[in-house]
Amino acid sequence: MSAGHPRIGVVGAGWWATQAHLPALKSYVGADVTALADPDLHKLDAAARQFNVPHRYEDPHELFMSGNVDGVVIAVPHAHHYPLAKAALDAGLHVMVEKPMVLQSTQAWELVETAEAAGLQLMVGYTYQFTRAAAHAFDVIRSGRIGELLHVSGLFASMVESFYRGQPDDYAAVFQFPVTGPSASTYADPTIAGGGQGQTQVTHAMGMVLWVTGRRVTEVSAYMANRDLAVDLVDAITYRLDNGAVGTMGSTGSLRPGQPSQQEFRYYGSDGFLLQDLLAGTIETHFNDGSSEQFEPLAPDEIFPAEATSRGFADLIAGRAENLAPAVTAAHVVEFLEAAYLSAASGGAPIEIADRSVARAAKP
Ligand SMILES: NC(=O)c1ccc[n+]([C@@H]2O[C@H](COP(=O)([O-])OP(=O)(O)OC[C@H]3O[C@@H](n4cnc5c(N)ncnc54)[C@H](O)[C@@H]3O)[C@@H](O)[C@H]2O)c1
């Protein structure tokens, strides 16, 4: 790595790599994009040409072993996250893997432990965590200013149903797909996606909740509805946190292009409460002594900083920034979703989540 310029390889030349990561990294002075891998030669060539990436690989494992990169951004369909992230860490590379980190909790903790043992960075592509608003919520809640956390209420409604129908082109006008849209199967085939709204959207929402609270979920009960889809479209999840607080997360992917989305979280503590609206970019905090604070709202271009994750990863490798989407929090989200899907499949039965930190601490 030349000073301050980590060499980044991108794995996956599909929609999100070409919409977010490649443009973000190519236009960033703090990183060099040296390599790109994708088994789809057409997509590989199109993206490598568009973004002028020098080294191309059909097999991502050849990229990992090439000596051309210090870290990799993995932006491929969900079922491929775990094997590729594991192989990259085993090759001694820093890893940013897209959300959901992986589909099984055993895989999540294995990646966490592999990275820790090797002294490598492991980050997850939780875009909303890279905003000033998330940092503010984190500071207020983690510093205890609203007291002991009692309750979290979350709603995450978004426009994704056509992805779950395998009809991503319905959104071509909205996203403009600079090189390509996603493959039809990426979000629609449960063997590849691992689920619908949970794996694609609730992962963002619970990533935020667990990040700003610093807590983990100990018990989950969920109802989900697929309607006519092969994956879940609507999720209603209740949960208990490790301090005894209880929470809810409601989520639907059924909104249509042009409709306003709602993505809001409310955190209630013994000394006050904080209201976080991701899409308005606002946060207000009300304290039990009668005072309140308004956060200066995000500007429109700060609300969903698609460029921030891969740039933040380069900064992390270069030692310029902290990990704002650390793998341990993401692993707690994987545990949560695994339990939620299990609960929903059994008609809402409560599912307990074991505390992995005990097993992790006991390891030599
Ligand atoms: N953070 C965010 O806000 C955000 C937004 C959109 C997508 N994503 C995530 O980005 C990831 C990619 O999604 P997408 O919509 O770009 O998918 P996509 O369907 O465009 O697929 C990405 C690419 O991965 C390639 N691929 C498949 N298997 C591979 C393998 N084993 N090795 C290398 N490449 C392989 C495919 O050929 C395809 O070109 C997903 O995890 C998705 O959830 C994140």
> Does 60 contact ligand 1 (Cβ within 6 A)?
yes
pTM: 0.97
Q: What is the 79 CA–ligand 1 centroid distance (Å)?
A: 10
> Does 77 contact ligand 1 (Cβ within 6 A)?
yes
Residue nearest ligand 1's atom 43 by CA: 99
> Does 37 contact ligand 1 (Cβ within 6 A)?
yes
Q: What is the 322 CA–ligand 1 centroid distance (Å)?
A: 25
Nearest one of 163, 149, 160, 153 to 277, comparing CA atoms: 153
Q: What is the 195 CA–ligand 1 centroid distance (Å)?
A: 15
> Does 128 contact ligand 1 (Cβ within 6 A)?
no
Residue nearest ligand 1's atom 15 by CA: 182
Q: What is the 38 CA–ligand 1 centroid distance (Å)?
A: 10
> Does 98 contact ligand 1 (Cβ within 6 A)?
yes
> Does 127 contact ligand 1 (Cβ within 6 A)?
yes
Q: What is the 77 CA–ligand 1 centroid distance (Å)?
A: 4
229 contacts: CB under 8 Å, gap ≥ 6: 161, 164, 165, 188, 196
Please identify, by atom number, the ligand 1 atom nearest to the C-alpha of residue 17: 16
Q: What is the 1 CA–ligand 1 centroid distance (Å)?
A: 26
Residue from 50, 76, 162, 192 whose mutation best tests the ligand 1 pocket (most atoms within 8 A of CB)? 76
Give the gyration radius of the chain's Cα atoms. 20
pLDDT value, residue 357? 73
pLDDT value, residue 4? 81
Residue from 98, 159, 309 whose mutation best tests the ligand 1 pocket (most atoms within 8 A of CB)? 98
Please identify, by atom number, the ligand 1 atom nearest to the C-alpha of residue 306: 3
pLDDT value, residue 364? 56
Q: Which tokens go with 125?
A: 């592509």
Which stretches of 120-178 are assigned E, i.e. beta strand? 122-124, 149-157
CA dist 176 → 22, 75, 250, 348, 349 (Å): 15, 18, 29, 39, 42
Q: What is the 161 CA–ligand 1 centroid distance (Å)?
A: 17
> Does 80 contact ligand 1 (Cβ within 6 A)?
yes
Cα angle, residue 329 at apex, residues 81 and 114 outer, rounded to 5°: 55
> Does 75 contact ligand 1 (Cβ within 6 A)?
yes
CA–CA distance, 82 with 235 (Å, rounded to integer)? 24
Note whether 181 and 171 are within 8 A (CB).
yes
Residue pLDDT tens, the chain, 364 long: 666 889 999 999 999 999 999 999 999 999 999 999 999 999 999 999 999 999 999 999 999 999 999 999 999 999 999 999 999 999 999 999 999 999 999 999 999 999 999 999 999 999 999 999 999 999 999 999 999 999 999 999 999 999 999 999 999 999 999 999 999 999 999 999 999 999 999 999 999 999 999 999 999 999 999 999 999 999 999 999 999 999 999 999 999 999 999 999 999 999 999 999 999 999 999 999 999 999 999 999 999 999 999 999 999 999 999 999 999 999 999 999 999 999 999 999 999 999 987 676 666 5
Residue 110, amino acid: E
CA–CA distance, 171 with 165 (Å, rounded to integer)? 12
CA–CA distance, 240 with 105 (Å, rounded to integer)? 18
Nearest one of 55, 3, 67, 64 to 30, comparing CA atoms: 3
Q: What is the 80 CA–ligand 1 centroid distance (Å)?
A: 9
Q: What is the 98 CA–ligand 1 centroid distance (Å)?
A: 8
> Does 125 contact ligand 1 (Cβ within 6 A)?
yes
> Does 40 contact ligand 1 (Cβ within 6 A)?
yes
Q: Which tokens go with 253?
A: 């992917």
Pairing of strands 292-294, 246-252: unpaired
Note whether 35 and 55 are within 8 A (CB).
yes
> Does 11 contact ligand 1 (Cβ within 6 A)?
yes
